[in-house]
Amino acid sequence: MATKIIDVREYTVRAHKRQIHTRIFNFVCKECNQATKRETFGPRPLYCESCRPPQPPKKSVQASRKAKPRVMNYQSDINLG
pLDDT digits (tens, 9 = 90+) for 45-77: 999 989 888 888 876 655 556 788 888 888 878
* Residues 6 or more apart in contact with residue 29 via CB below 8 angstroms: 35, 36, 46, 47, 48, 51
Q: How does the average pLDDT of the chain come out, rounded? A: 80
Give 36-76 as a DSSP string. EEEEESSS--SS-TTTPPPPPPPPPTTTTSPPPPPP-----
Name the phi and psi angles at 23, rounded to 5.
-130, 155
Quick one: how far is CA 71 from the chain centroid?
A: 31
The pTM score is 0.47
